[in-house]
Structure 1
Amino acid sequence: MTTRRHFVQSASALAALGTLSPLIARAQGVDQVKIINGFPAGGTADATSRRIGEQLRGSSYTPNAAVVENKPGAGGRIACETVKNAAPDGRTLLLTPFSCTSVYPHIYSKLSYDPFTDLMPVSIAAVMHHGLAVGPMVPATVKNVRDYVAWCKANPDKASYGSPAAGSLPHFLGALLSSYTGVPLTHVPYRGSVPGVTDMLGSQLASMFTPSGDFLANHKAGKIRIIATSGPTRSPFSPEVPTFAEQGFSELTTEEWFGFYAPAKTPSSIINSANAAINATLKNPTVISSLGTFGLAPAGSTVREMDKSQRDAYFRWGPLVKHIGFTGMS
C-alpha cells in the first residue's frame, strides 16, 4: 500500500538522523499489534478481534491493522497465559470474555495467571447475551424453556447441552437451570462455540448454551431454534425470542462482555493510546454493523470502568459458582 510504503521509507530516512528516531517511534505508536484470543476462528471472540483489529490501522496507537492469533484451548486460559508472558510494550493484546478474568478465579485453585495483577484492563469491546438453542434432535413441539425442561426430564439419555468451555458462563447457565428445575442436564464442553453448534446441527447434541450471536445465522435459516436469551431485555438481534426472565427463570439473567487486556507493567501512555484507538473504532459504522451480525453490541469504556466491571462480575459470580459446586482441574 502507498501509505505503508511511504511510512517505511520515511521512518528509514529519519532513523539515519539517530537522535530523532525515539521521537519518531513515539509519534508513530506501536509498529505492529497482535491480538490474541483463546477461541477458534469463526466464533464471536474471533469476529470481535478481527473487526476491531483491522480498523486500528492509522490510529495514534498503531499505523497497521492488528494481526489476530487464535489460541483455543482450556476455555481461553492458554491465551491469557500467553499474554501474561508477553513483553509489556503494547505489541500484544488479549481479547477475552470476562469469564476468564472474573469467573475462573473461583474455579481453578492454581490458575496460571492472576487476572488482577498479571493483566491490565484496556477497554471493554462488546456486550453479548447468551442463548439456549435446540437442534434437530429436539422435536419442534419444544418452543420454550419449560417445554425444553419437560423434554429433558422425559428423555434423560438425550438431556445434554454444550457450551464453549467448562467453567464458562454458558456452562453455568445450564448448570443453574438444572439446579433450579431439579432436572439433570449433562454438560458437554467444547473448544469454542463453533464445534458445538456443528454437532447440534448434526443431531449429535440436543442443545447448547453459548453467545446467542453464534446461533443467529442457523436460527434465521430455521436449522436450529433459539428458545431463550440471557439479557435483562430481549436481544435486538433476535427480538422474537423471549428472555429467560420472561419465562420465569430470572436467575439466568446475565450479560457478558469481551474486553481487551495488556500484559502487566505496560506503560500507562500505551494503555491510554490503545484505549482511545479501540473506543474510536467502536464508533465506526462498519464495525457496528459487522459486530451486529454476530449478535454483539459495541460498548467501549474507560480503563477504570472496565476494571470496576470486572470486579463486580467477580463478586457476583463467586457465590453462584459455589452454589453450582463446580471446581476445575488446574
Structure 2
Amino acid sequence: MTLEIGVDSTFAQSVVDRLQSIEDRLASAAFADTPFVTEAASHIINAGGKRFRPLLVLAASQLYEGADVDATERAAMAVELTHVASLYHDDVMDEADLRRGAESANHRWSNSVAIMVGDFLFARASSIVATLGVDYVALQAETFARLVQGQVGEIRGPADGDDPVAHYLQVLADKTGSLIATSAKFGGMVCGAPEPVLRALGAFGEEIGVVFQLSDDIIDIASDRTGKTPGTDLREGVWTLPTLLVKAADDPADARLRELIGRRIDDPDELAEALALMRAHPALAQARAEVDRRARLAKDLLTELPEGPARDTLFELCDQIVSRST
C-alpha cells in the first residue's frame, strides 16, 4: 500500500520533505558504539516501510501554527523507533524468517541478538522522548506498557469465559492502536493543540490502528493483488477476525472450515480449500462491516479538529486504509 499524502500539493510536498529528513535521522539514531550493533540496529530501518506513524505525527503537528520543526521530527523518530524495536521482538516470538522482504534479524543472527537490538532501539526512542518533556515521557511509558500487555494477551489467548472476538480486538488496540494513537497525539502536542483535540487525536489513532490490522486480516483472505501471498495467516493457523467469526457462529454447515482454521495447514490443496471456503463465507462481509464501522467512528472524531490540509490528510489516510480491504 502506498499512502498518498493530502489533497493540498504544497502541504503534501512539505510532508514529503520532512519524511526524508526523518529517514536520515533514523539512520543516525541506529548508530551504536560497535559496527555490529549498528548493522543489526539498522537492519529493519534500512528495509524501509510505510512510515505511517511519523506521517501521523507530521500531519497532526500542522493542525495549529507554531510547531517546532526539530521537536516534531524528534517525536516522529521516537514513535518509529519504538515501532521498529517492537518488530525485532515480534519476529522472535513469531519465529519469522522475513521482515519487509528481507531476512529477519533473528534469522540472520539469533533470537538473543534480535531481542537485545530491539531493547537498544527502545532505549534510543526513550532518550529522544526525554528531550521533549515529561508529558511525552509519561505517554510513551503508558504506550509501551500497552504494547507489552497486548503482546502477552496475544500469546496467552482469551481466558475461560472471555469472548474471543472481544479479546482479539483488545489485543489489536493494545499492540497496534496504542502506538498509532500516541503518534497522532504527539503531533498534536508539539503544535499546542487543546486537550479536547488531543483526546480526539488519540481516539482517532487507536481506531485507525485497529482498522489497519483488520484490513490486513481481510487482505490475507480476499486479495490476490497486493503482492502478498494470500492465506498466510490461514496457513500458519493464526486466528484473525474472519476466522474467529466463523468459529463463533458454530454453524454445522461450517464443520469442514472449522476443521481447517486455527491449525497449521501444510497441504497446498487444503490451503486452497480453506481460502475458497473463507472467501465464500458471510464472515468476510462481517469483517468488512466492522472495518467500515470503525472507520466511520474515526472520521467522526476528526470533526473535532480544525479545518485545513492537516485534517484533510487525516481523512484521506483513513479512506486509503479502508480501501485496501475492498
TM range (shorter): under 0.3
Structure having the larger proportion of residues in helix: 2
Larger RCO (CA under 8 A, 6+ residues apart)? 1
Larger Rg: 1
TM-score calculated relative to the size of structure 1: 0.25
Structure having the larger proportion of residues in strand: 1
TM-score calculated relative to the size of structure 2: 0.25
